[in-house]
Amino acid sequence: MKLFNPITLLLILIGAAMVGFVWLRGPSHELPPVESLANFQMADAPLKLPADGQPRHRLHRMSAWDLATLPRAVRFDPPMGTEQAGLTYNAQKFWEMNNGRGGHHTGDDLNGIGGMNSDLGDPVFAAADGRVLYAGEPSPGWGNTVVVAHHTADGRVLQTMYAHLQNIDVPVGAAVARGRVIGSVGTANGYYPAHLHFEMRESDGVDIGAGYSMNPMNRLDPEATIASMRGAPADRPSPAVLPVALDRGNPWNQVELSPEDAAKLGEILKREPAADGE
């Protein structure tokens, strides 16, 4: 007795070929596009590091190259208002409990003293020298958001995060100096009256997370952290760069000058400004 007549055998073969074709071409056998390795410097970066100009806000780790080239931040200033945070107030302080949102506030809400939308479009400054790790809109509620990484004088990697911005003035990867305008105060697409949600974290990766939480995780109190690293009394503007370089007694000063260079800089500082200067 014949088990299979030729027609049945043919149908079985065609069926098997179709299943095999689908299996081989199926999505589970397609490798995800490699988005890393844009250049040799990123060779140790994990896959999915944004190398295509489309920043993502989850699991973005800094590469060894990013860490090695991170600018050293010797001083931190408030990100809004004057250098002493004048003309601003903190409407919702770090770790205040917000029952309506079901958690503690993960940053400071900085406002212009005029209240409501009077600070809409006001400049937002980089709090310290650093590099832009993220610039984008992680969600409508966060609005335009910038994350800057800083290498502190004591070797930590800190981040400052600026959220609800009206617009962003710096690209990802840019080195920014303390006081550089990185964007302007906004409303997060009209979700809130204009204010700056400002966070600080100790981290070498970007994880935007939520604005309210029951666990502080890597978040720091921005006001206290900046006060501890301002390098100037609360009622004084931060000093300019050259006096800082000459101030050897300051623990945040990492600049080592030879006596000759220090003498030269001292002479430069004593000079009268040029008539057409400033």
Q: Which residues bind Zn ion (CB under 5 A)?
A: 109, 197
Give the residue with the Cβ less far from Zn ion, 111 or 152.
111
Shortest Å, Cβ 164 to Zn ion: 8
Closer of 93 and 156 to Zn ion (Cβ): 93
CA distances from 194 to 110, 113, 118 (A): 9, 12, 8
Give the burial class of 274: count Cβ atoms within 10 A of its Cβ; 0-12 exposed, 13-18 middle, 19 or more buried. Answer: exposed
Which residue stretches of the chain are H helix?
A: 6-25, 64-68, 222-229, 241-246, 259-270
CA gap 135, 146 in Å, rounded: 4
Query: Residue 188 or 246: which CB sits closer to Zn ion?
Result: 188
Q: Provide the minimum distance between the beta carbon of 109 and Zn ion in the complex, in angstroms, as a whole number.
A: 4
Q: Say how far apart CA 242 and CA 235 lie, in whole Å.
A: 20
Strand order across the beta sheet in which 181-184 lies = 123-125, 181-184, 167-168
Question: Of the two residues 106 and 152, which places its CB atom closer to Zn ion in the complex?
Answer: 106
